[in-house]
Amino acid sequence: MKSLKAQHSILADANEQIEIIEHGETGDFALIPFQQKLEQSNLYPLKPAFVEILQVNVGKMCNQTCRHCHVDAGPDRKEIMTRETMQQCIDVLRVNEQLKTVDLTGGAPELNPNFQWFVEEISKLNRHIIVRCNLTIILANKKYHDLPQFYKKHNLEVVSSLPFYSQDRTDKQRGNGVFQDSIKALQMLNEVGYGAEETGLALNLVYNPAGAFLPPSQQSLEQEYKQALKQKFGIEFNNLYVITNLPISRYLDYLLTSGNYERYMEKLVNAYNPVAAANVMCRNTVSVGWDGYLYDCDFNQMLELKVNSNSKHLSDFNINVLSKRDIIIGQHCYGCTAGSGSSCGGAVA
């Protein structure tokens, strides 16, 4: 499967996406504006709480082409963070100690040729590092087989998508053979100590719905996952994060082509939860694009909505200025406030 960009889809254009998200495919689909909901919750304008996470998207290249990917990542995407931009991240971290966590995402972050160097440099600054590993990368090539050891050496928290504990749903969303490879990769991570309470090596899994529906309760699904993975494959992990799919990029494409878009958006709006809204991740995160520009979150990044601030790029990063900005919102934000909420760390309410 090719990325939307390679297919020259109109959805590869961020402005086209925003137009559809705000007004529907025919331009006359109107739901309660997200801003109005925030106003009712006394949260508008949405402001940062305490910025402590630097989420860095090191490139859009990926060995998988998942059907729900909001990045439109894939093997044909060439956007990749350079070592110079990574150095700018390091410089920002060095002078901003309140950025306690660095969250590495992509694409498959490991496909960036400077990934290991970058991790080593961040490690020297004594920060908590999260890697959003798609699992199959570990088996994709011999040179990646030692990734579990590398993660362990730098005490990385590994967060990995496994949309379900059965092959059928996982492969439908992430591609044929992904489930089997993911299971092997999880076993490799377990072998070096990931997922076992006593090692402190955190292995967290991510569930996201394989279809046009909201995720179930995080707590009960985690128990099911733990039972099923332990029983069938002997796999252990720490936490399950349930994440709602946002109507962006390939998931938006799926919603539109399957005729589910309007129903799904109505579902999100009806499930608006003010408690989740107060805890959205954009309030404690700054997202960095592959080219060093700054965004409120990875979703705004994919919609090319740069932060509403004079500090727009790593080269002029100013945490005080960024902490006072108004966070850019849109109808897609309903995805993070539905039900128990959704963030890169799962439910928030």
Partner 1 sequence: MNEHYYNSKDLAKFGNVADYQKEMGEKFFAYYGEVFKDSELSAREKSLIALAVAHAVQCPYCIDAYSSDAFEKGWSESQMMEAVHVACAIRGGASLVHGVQMMNKVKEIAM
Residues that bind partner 1 (CB under 8 A): 164, 166, 168-169, 209, 211, 213-217, 220-221, 224
CB of 267 or CB of 313, closer to partner 1: 267
**Shortest distance, CB of residue 208 to partner 1, whole angstroms?**
12
CB of 118 or CB of 207, closer to partner 1: 207
CB of 169 or CB of 184, closer to partner 1: 169
CB of 216 or CB of 274, closer to partner 1: 216
**Shortest distance, CB of residue 168 to partner 1, whole angstroms?**
6
Number of H helices, E strands in the chain: 15, 8
Q: Are 204 and 130 in contact (CB under 8 A)?
A: no
Please state the φ and ψ torsions of residue 56, each to the nearest 5 degrees: -115, 120
**Shortest distance, CB of residue 214 to partner 1, whole angstroms?**
7
CB of 170 or CB of 287, closer to partner 1: 170
CB of 270 or CB of 308, closer to partner 1: 270
CB of 109 or CB of 339, closer to partner 1: 339
Q: Strand 101-105 to strand 53-57: parallel, antiparallel, or no bridges (unpaired)?
A: parallel
End-to-end CA distance of the chain: 36
Return d(Cα 81, Cα 183) in angstroms, integer: 29
**Shortest distance, CB of residue 186 to partner 1, whole angstroms?**
18
Number of C-beta neighbours around residue 44 at 10 A: 17
The SS3 assignment for 59 reads: strand
CB of 220 or CB of 315, closer to partner 1: 220
Q: Are 322 and 333 in contact (CB under 8 A)?
A: no
**Shortest distance, CB of residue 284 to partner 1, whole angstroms?**
29
**Shortest distance, CB of residue 216 to partner 1, whole angstroms?**
5
User: ∠ CA 75-76-79 to the nearest 5 degrees?
Assistant: 100
**Shortest distance, CB of residue 220 to partner 1, whole angstroms?**
6
Residue 276 burial by Cβ neighbours in a 10 Å radius (0-12, 13-18, 19+) = buried
| DSSP per position, 81-139 | --HHHHHHHHHHHHH-TT--EEEEESS-GGGSTTHHHHHHHHHHTT-EEEEE--STHHH
Return d(Cα 177, Cα 279) in angstroms, integer: 36
Six token digits for residue 114: 């400077």
**Shortest distance, CB of residue 266 to partner 1, whole angstroms?**
10
